[in-house]
Amino acid sequence: MAETINIGEIAAKISKDIFKHFLWEAHPKRDDNFKCSNEKHLGEGSKPKASHPGDVVFFYEDPYLGKRIYLHTDLKSYSADSITASRLRGAFKSLCMTVECAKESSEWRSKYSVDASEQHEVRGLLFIHNHDNGYDKPFYEAIDKVDLPALPVAPGSLLHFLGPHDIQRLFSIANDIKGLKGEDELPKEYTFYYPDLVMSRRQGDVWGQPATIETLTGPYIIVKHGATETYGAGYVIYYNAPGECSEEFEYFLDSLSRYQMLESGEKIRVRVTKGDATNDLKSVFQMAKKKYAKAWGFDPAREAILNQIDIDRITSMTSTYNPGDLGWRE
């Protein structure tokens, strides 16, 4: 039983170490239940549930929606053999019911200091960490077997999930951010960049913006930063796509142009997060820059801007939290 508790604490530890670098906040109340108010919510033996669990509630301000997002998070730490469709289905089903009640519960709002009059949204997040680092299958294979459309998701509710590979990638990015700050290549204060889109406009101050859950699972994460004593202001872009061909990077460069980043005159660093990205990564990116410049008629100014963009890959990091070490209470 004690070993199980310590394993469960690994997910709590790694989630804290990851999300603080993406500027999420966490409510200090953890590992608490709140009353179930829906008689249709059934637990074991088809008996009405008395309560719903709550591991941790993360929250941030969404720059496009202009409201606070609360992520009622179910932290799971499984061995590789335990990540099965059956276990995932049970976790999703429980989270569906939990979020449905949380959205209407005054007790939940009281526990997590939520002002009902503020613009906010309650969502669910299933965080699946593999504590023995032995899960080498595509996580979506297990997800596909869950039959997500059959889950009892209440109307208007949103559920997100992060699997083992997502968590390892985000852990690697968080450590890369920490390393860049340690090398004075990134200031302690930075923000995540949200350009104005056709259908969405960013709201609020441009600085201090968090990475939304949609950003963390998207093709790239853009960090905007000021100057340090040794490094100029600019952007660090964590590129989460395969990076297999020049056409892929041409589309990426065109996106940067549409985001008004190429004309900013600031330094742009691209950091590829895929551990299995092609060995010829820099050559492929160089070809993309040449082809993109050619599409613009070899405009000298545009070509000079493109040549200033650096690309590299980050070091893939694996968490090494040990259940026995976490058993110490100091």
Give the model's confidence band at 202: pLDDT under 50 very low, under 70 low, under 90 confident, else very high. Answer: low
Give the model's confidence band at 297: pLDDT under 50 very low, under 70 low, under 90 confident, else very high. Answer: confident
Q: Return the axis-axis angle of helices 2-19 and 164-182, rounded to nearest 10°.
A: 50
Place of tokens 């503020």: 118
Mean pLDDT of 130-152: 86
Q: How far is CA 237 from CA 26, 215, 273, in A?
A: 25, 12, 10
* Of 318, 323, 320, 317, the residue nearest 9 (C-alpha): 323
Q: Provide the token pair at 311.
A: 């690309």
Q: What is the Cα–Cα distance from 273 to 221, expressed in whole angstroms?
A: 10
Q: What is the Cα–Cα distance from 211 to 217, expressed in whole angstroms?
A: 10
What are the structural domain ranges in the chain? Answer: 2-162, 177-313
Residue 63 and residue 133 in contact, taking contact as beta carbons nearer than 8 Å: no
213-264 pLDDT, tens per residue? 999 999 999 999 999 998 899 999 999 988 889 999 999 999 999 888 887 7
Number of H helices, E strands in the chain: 10, 12
31-61 pLDDT, tens per residue? 999 999 998 898 777 888 999 999 999 999 9
Mean pLDDT of 153-170: 94
User: What kind of architecture, by CATH, is found in domain 2-162?
Assistant: 3-Layer(aba) Sandwich (3.40)
pTM: 0.90
